[in-house]
């Protein structure tokens, strides 16, 4: 596998809008959920000393959820990175391990997932719908990593309840993280794109903590270069119209391709074993 290039171009763009401490704060495992205060002032964050930021890494995998990962044989390549970013509680390992890997360090949690799982936690996860039960199963996969809600609103109360419920009922030990500055507000200013996807958010965040970034699972089209039909996600068969979706993913994909042309990131498409060098 070719080594990803340094991401200095991306880092320069991102750092003009948002600073590392504003991107993510991870509560230390010793802090009880009731004491999560979601402070947004840098001085108070340092004074309270409840959180820490991400460590700097040499190589990072930013893993999307596109169906391009199915039968990609990219699991080993993904796992070889120093730090692995995943999004929205996507499943990994088990039957997906060969294609998406068995390791992870962090995942995002979206608004719908936070609200749904917090509601379940308040009822001690009793009488859950099949969809929410599957969400819980996927969340448990992230037990020794970090679960990160990068938006601003709705975190206080919901994250407290969810983290308390997961800890008490399932002995869940993941770190819980938030963004002092909502990245869904900051990222559009960086890329001049009104409604960024979680993928663009993750890439922007990773650029301040990772020297070299490789992107996997980013391909917003229905067929690949060999005319093979692709699912929207590698783990389900839910349909999506890429062009009418609010994130306008094909336009966003052009941003990624331009970044690759600038030697700022590596985009992995297709079978990792066949493209390995």
pLDDT at 276 over 90: no
Residue 2 within any structural domain of the chain: no
Instruction: Give the global pTM.
Output: 0.93
Residue 47 belongs to domain with CATH number: 3.90.1480.20
Residue 211 within any structural domain of the chain: yes
Mean pLDDT of the chain: 92
Check residue 277 and give its pLDDT.
Answer: 43
Check residue 228 and give its pLDDT.
Answer: 82
Residue 157 within any structural domain of the chain: yes
Express each pLDDT in 74-118 by its tens digit: 999 999 999 999 999 999 999 999 999 999 999 999 999 999 999
Number of domains in the chain: 1
Is 247 an active-site residue?
Answer: yes
Work out the average pLDDT over 253-263: 93
- Distances from the Cα of 3 to the Cαs of 162, 215, 274, in angstroms? 39, 12, 15
Residue 124 within any structural domain of the chain: yes
Residue 3 within any structural domain of the chain: no
Quote the domain boundaries for residue 170.
8-275
Residue 71 within any structural domain of the chain: yes
Residue 108 within any structural domain of the chain: yes
Residue 123 within any structural domain of the chain: yes
Contact assessment for residue 211 and residue 59, using Cβ atoms and an 8 Å cutoff: yes
Express each pLDDT in 31-78 by its tens digit: 999 999 999 999 999 999 999 999 999 999 999 999 999 999 999 999
148 Ramachandran zone, left/alpha/beta (phi>0; psi -120 to 50)? beta
């Amino acid at each position: 596998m070719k080594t990803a290039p340094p991401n200095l171009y991306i880092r320069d763009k991102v750092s003009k809008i948002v600073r590392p401490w504003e991107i993510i704060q991870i509560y230390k495992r010793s802090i009880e959920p009731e004491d999560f205060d979601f402070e947004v002032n840098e001085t108070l964050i340092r004074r309270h000393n409840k959180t820490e930021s991400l460590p700097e890494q040499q190589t990072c995998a930013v893993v999307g959820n596109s169906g391009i990962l199915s039968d990609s044989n990219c699991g080993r390549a993904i796992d070889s990175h120093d730090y692995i970013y995943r999004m929205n509680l996507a499943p990994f390992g088990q039957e997906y391990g060969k294609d998406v890997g068995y390791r992870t360090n962090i995942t995002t949690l979206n608004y719908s997932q936070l609200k749904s799982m917090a509601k379940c936690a308040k009822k001690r996860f009793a009488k859950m719908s099949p969809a929410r039960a599957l969400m819980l199963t996927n969340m448990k996969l992230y037990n020794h990593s970090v679960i990160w809600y990068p938006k601003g609103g709705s975190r206080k109360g919901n994250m407290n309840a969810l983290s308390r419920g997961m800890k008490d009922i399932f002995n869940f030990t993941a770190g819980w993280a938030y963004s002092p500055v909502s990245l869904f507000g900051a990222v559009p200013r960086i890329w001049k794109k009104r409604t960024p996807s979680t993928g663009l958010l993750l890439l922007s965040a990773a650029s301040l903590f990772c020297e070299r970034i490789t992107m996997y699972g980013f391909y917003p089209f229905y067929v690949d270069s060999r005319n093979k039909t692709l699912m929207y996600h590698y783990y389900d068969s839910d349909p999506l119209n890429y062009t009418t979706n609010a994130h306008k993913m094909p336009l966003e994909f052009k941003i990624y391709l331009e970044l690759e042309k600038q030697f700022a990131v590596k985009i992995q498409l297709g079978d990792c074993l066949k493209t390995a060098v």
